[in-house]
Amino acid sequence: MDWLAILSGFGVGAIVGMTGVGGGSLMTPLLIGVFRLNPAVAIGTDLFFASITKTSGAIAHARHGHIDRRIVTLLLTGSLPAAVATFAMMHATGITKAWASTLTFSLGIALLLTALTLAYKQTWYNVGLKLEQWLPESRKPALTVAAGALLGVLVSLSSVGAGAIGVTLILILYPRLSTQRLVGTDIAHAVPLTLVAGIGHWTLGHIDWALLGALLIGSLPGIWIGANLTKLMPEKLTRGLLCLSLVTAGLKVIH
């Protein structure tokens, strides 16, 4: 099982390296379907997996100046309190079957939303340009905080959304942002959010530490190799395959 976990971490890491997204979207269904983890434990384990694997990416983007610190601050202003409030509610109400059902359903919806955002990437860019025509700059900070709050709840409940959905929300609000700064800003926001959400699930006993270690052993070289394979794989092909896997996983989780 350890070798299977290492290979799974390598495979997901390679996909993340090639596409920039898909870590939580693929890892959580994998943990549920292959490793037979309880959905809550799968989500918590994946959140720590995401926070660790994305840290190196955030550092690299920071060194190249690809992070808009103002946008990251606004997103975190909304996402971190939302995540803390979500876990406070879970602690207050107790871990019941109702919460388990909510976590599973949230995961399925998040997977489908992620597939939608990836499939229509250009459309969201056009939406952002049109929105820019009548949305004054003075309103963007509040909307950015609101977007962060939405991500905080979604990531806490499903472990999915910090990547593709986060990028899409930033793209809609800031369509003039360069691709490098868009991705760098999203990753910089995802690291503290997934860490806080992971700690929240840790307090609830939702972490499989042994499995997490094996996954990380495989994922770190996988991300490096995937990043180098990006030049060889057509973007439309990798995005299409990723969307197909997300839709399949999302429908399976919901049903």
Question: Averaged over 59-66, what is the pLDDT?
Answer: 82
pLDDT-based confidence at residue 223 (cuts at 50, 70, 90): confident
pLDDT of residue 231: 59
Question: Averaged over 3-10, what is the pLDDT?
Answer: 90
pLDDT of residue 100: 64
pLDDT-based confidence at residue 232 (cuts at 50, 70, 90): low
Q: Are 115 and 185 in contact (CB under 8 A)?
A: no
What are 214's two structure tokens? 């094996």
Find the range with the poorest average confidence among 91-95, 135-139, 203-207.
91-95
Rounded CA separation 239/119 (Å): 7
Q: 1 pLDDT exceeds 70?
A: no
Percent of the chain with pLDDT over 70: 82
- Where does residue 24 rank: exposed (0-12), middle (13-18), buried (19+ CB within 10 A)? buried
What are 159's two structure tokens? 């472990």
For the stretch 155-197, pLDDT in tens is 898 887 777 788 888 888 988 888 778 878 888 898 999 999 9
Between 185 and 120, name the one with better pLDDT. Answer: 185
pLDDT of residue 72: 97
**Of the candidates 147, 229, 234, which has an alpha carbon nearest to the alpha carbon of residue 193?**
147
∠ Cα 240 20 160 (to 5°)? 85
pLDDT of residue 117: 72
Question: Averaged over 10-15, what is the pLDDT?
Answer: 81
Question: Averaged over 11-18, what is the pLDDT?
Answer: 75
Q: Where are the domains of the chain?
A: 2-254
For the stretch 17-57, pLDDT in tens is 666 566 667 788 889 888 989 888 998 999 998 888 888 77
Q: Are 114 and 167 in contact (CB under 8 A)?
A: no
Q: Are 226 and 61 in contact (CB under 8 A)?
A: no
Between 166 and 74, name the one with better pLDDT. Answer: 74
Integer-rounded Cα radius of gyration of the chain? 17
Question: Averaged over 79-93, what is the pLDDT?
Answer: 92
Please provide the average confidence, as pLDDT, over all residues in the chain.
82
SS in 3 state form for the chain? CHHHHHHHHHHHHHHHHHHCCCHHHHHHHHHHHCCCCCHHHHHHHHHHHHHHHHHHHHHHHHHCCCCCHHHHHHHHHHHHHHHHHHHHHHHHHCCCHHHHHHHHHHHHHHHHHHHHHHHCHHHHHHHHHHHHHHCCHHHHHHHHHHHHHHHHHHHHHHCCCCCHHHHHHHHHHCCCCCHHHHHHHHHHHHHHHHHHHHHHHHHCCCCCHHHHHHHHHHHHHHHHHHHHHCCCCCHHHHHHHHHHHHHHHHHHHHC
* Stated pTM of the model: 0.81
pLDDT of residue 211: 94
Placement of tokens 């601050």 in the chain: 73
